[in-house]
Structure 1
Amino acid sequence: MNIDLSDKRVIVTGASRGIGRAIACAFAAEGARVAICARDTDAVEAAGRELSEQAQAVIARAVDVTDTRGVQAFVTEVAEAWGGIDVLVNNAGQGRSGNLDNLTPEAILEHANVLQMGHFRFVQAVVPHMRKQRWGRIIEINALAGTIPTPDGIPSVINRASCVALSRSLGMSLAKENILVNSLNMGWIDTGQWDRHYKEMPPGVSREEFDRMVMKVVPVGRYGKPEDVAGMALFLASDYASFISAASIDIAGGMGGQIAYFPTLKRDFVAEAQARNARDRSGDA
């Protein structure tokens, strides 16, 4: 299968690192023109320099997805520079933890403004350009927690669920105009966050022990890589996916409902490690 994207004009949000950067690099390697944005000026410019080694052309700008005028200005700049926009990868946004006892409504709304409204702002800005050419592909980067609720992380659960619903609704309403919209729902893609999770473990827990605990709920038995996501994004942007819209595709290594058990598994694992440390200390005494 030869996926030819050399004539495509692509926007990737949140592309200074992690999944967004991997997706942008994948499009650049296929010869597309790639426009990227992120909040950090230095980081997005560094990513732009990397992309320029492969892409036909690169635009890299600092954009805050909560700023409607800033989003519209960025999209307009790209469309005017390249004569249109073919692909939007809506990747900006991070997970947020929290539960009923420690969250405020304002914290959930702040997260929603980045995720739900950030995705909506970019779609609203690019669709007029796609309508003019009667061709467009919108790929929403979401999370498995948006399709399978977990007992913690309320902001991520409800705001990701809204993003998945938005994607499916748009995938239905825009398909008649040959603008196809699909959602990719991430499982545990390793972009460095699992290093941070490991550092939260009690003393004495090895990284191998931690990884074995995490992988108990992932049937494939490994963390996902950003490249695992990028490959599917390339496919959905290609003509091979011309009959796919309003789809919700999990990139999670076979993990489904198992994700709901992980908070309990993690708490039990931490408790066992703490108990082991206590026994070790009492033995030393």
Structure 2
Amino acid sequence: MHIDLSAKRVIVTGASRGIGRAVATAFAREGVRLAICSRSADTLEAVAEDLRALGAAEVIAVPLDVRDTAAVRAFTAQVAEAWGGVDVLVNNAGQGKGGSLETLEPEDILDHADNIQVAHFRFVQAVVPHMRKQKWGRIININALAGALPTPDGIPSVTNRAAGIALSKLLGQQLAKDNILVNSLNMGWIDTGQWDRHYKEMPSTISREEFLEMVVKIVPLGRFGRPEEVAHVCLFLASDLASFLSAASIDVSGGLQGAIAYYPTLKREMQDLGRAREAALAAE
């Protein structure tokens, strides 16, 4: 069965790296007209050139902060005017944020929300009028498994991703009558730069290899997911093959479910092991 998306007009946010870039790459190979944005102005045009070389029919690339409502509306209007509408939106921008009752200020949670579910709302609000005109649209919101299955750590990520999933379900019901289908993809352990950041929280006596082995220990498939594996699901959801799928919450997690709650414990145990190693070395 062949997925033909070549006539589609697609927006991907946070497209300069990681999952967003992989999603944009997959759509480019389908020959779509592709609009990308991110805050990384320095790399965005280089990414756009790569996407053109991969087969995108046209590429619009605009540096953009998804917290800026006026900028989001202007970008969407630019795309719709240039191409006569918008068919697909992939809300990918945003990343995780840790923190506890002891370390967070309320404003930290609000700021993170502005980058996640509120940013999703901004873009949906901007594209829906164009999708309604054509009675066809696909909206894919990239969220996190921790929002569907809360972990006992990382208050901003857990609560704001949960809100993002709830927003997707609500919109998937509300907009279905207009043939605008909205679904949430909830990321498990995907091999992106975030794991480099997590590893930096480890004592120097913990090797990167044993850290990563600990991370995937709770994944039934026994490995990280690849960004292109997320992109493949996006292609399906953007196609007519997914014509009866809306308000769905889909875990892209290699089978990882409730065991995600054990990850903070495993992480702390490894940090303790690293500190014990440091103490032993200092005592020699």
Shorter-chain TM band:
over 0.9
**Mapping 1:23-172, distance limit 5 Å:** 23-53=23-53, 54-172=55-173
**Alignment of structure 1 residues 253-272 onto 2, 5 Å:** 253-272=254-273
Give the C-alpha shift of residue 217 in structure 1. 1.0
Query: Quick one: distance in 2 between partners of 1:20 and 1:90?
Result: 9
The AA in structure 2 aligned to 1:177 is D
In structure 2, the CA distance between the partners of 1:64 and 1:203, relative to structure 1 (3 Å rule), is closer
Matched, 1:223 2:208: no
Partner of 2:244: 243
Structure 1 SS opposite 2:10 = strand
Tell me which moved more, 106-115 or 2-11.
106-115
Residues in 2 aligned to 1:32 and 1:77: alpha-carbon distance in whole angstroms: 17
Query: Which residue does 2:12 correspond to in 1?
Result: 12
Q: Secondary structure at the match of 2:141?
A: strand
SS in 1 for 2:254: coil
Measured in 2, the distance between the counterparts of 1:276 and 1:104 equals 33
SS in 2 for 1:35: strand
Deviation at 1:117, TM superposition (A): 1.2
Matched residue of 1:233: which SS? Answer: helix
CA distance in 1, matches of 2:40, 2:193: 18
Question: C-alpha separation between the residues in 2 aligned to 1:157 and 1:100?
Answer: 13
After superposition, the C-alpha distances for 1:157-207 in whole angstroms (9 at most, x for unaligned) are 111111100000000111111100000000111112212322332223222
SS of corresponding position for 1:52: helix
Question: What amino acid does structure 1 have at the position aligned with 2:130?
Answer: H
Shift of 1:270: 1.5
Q: Give the drift of 1:236.
A: 0.3
Moved beyond 4 Å, runs of 4+: none
Number of residue pairs aligned between Structure 1 and Structure 2? 283
**2:3 aligned partner:** 3
Whichever residue aligns with residue 210 of structure 1, its letter is F
Q: C-alpha deviations, 1:124-152, integer Å up to 9, x for none? A: 00000000000000000000111111111
Deviation at 1:212, TM superposition (A): 1.7
| 1:12 partner amino acid | V
TM normalised by structure 1 equals 0.97
Deviations 1:192-235 (A, max 9, x none): 22123223322232222112211111111111111010000000
1:154-193 aligned within 5 A: 154-193=155-194
> Which consecutive unaligned segments of at least 5 residues does structure 2 have?
none
**Where do 5+ consecutive residues of structure 1 fail to align?**
none
SS state at 2:236 partner: helix
Q: Which whole-Å CA distance do the structure 1 matches of 2:98 and 2:13 have between them?
A: 22
**2-side partners of 1:212 and 1:16: how far apart?**
28
Alignment of 1:205-216 (within 5 A): 205-216=206-217
Residue 253 of structure 2: aligned partner = 252
Give the counterpart letter for 1:58 in structure 2.
Answer: V
Which whole-Å CA distance do the structure 1 matches of 2:128 and 2:235 have between them?
19
Deviation at 1:47, TM superposition (A): 1.2
Q: What is the deviation of 1:42?
A: 1.6
Task: Report SS of the residue matched to 2:183.
Answer: strand
Q: Kindly provide the CA deviation profile for residues 61-98 of structure 1, in whole angstroms up to 9, marking residues without a partner as x.
A: 01111111111110001001001100000011111111
> TM-score normalized by structure 2?
0.97
CA distance in 1, matches of 2:85, 2:13: 17
What is the match of residue 205 of structure 2? 204
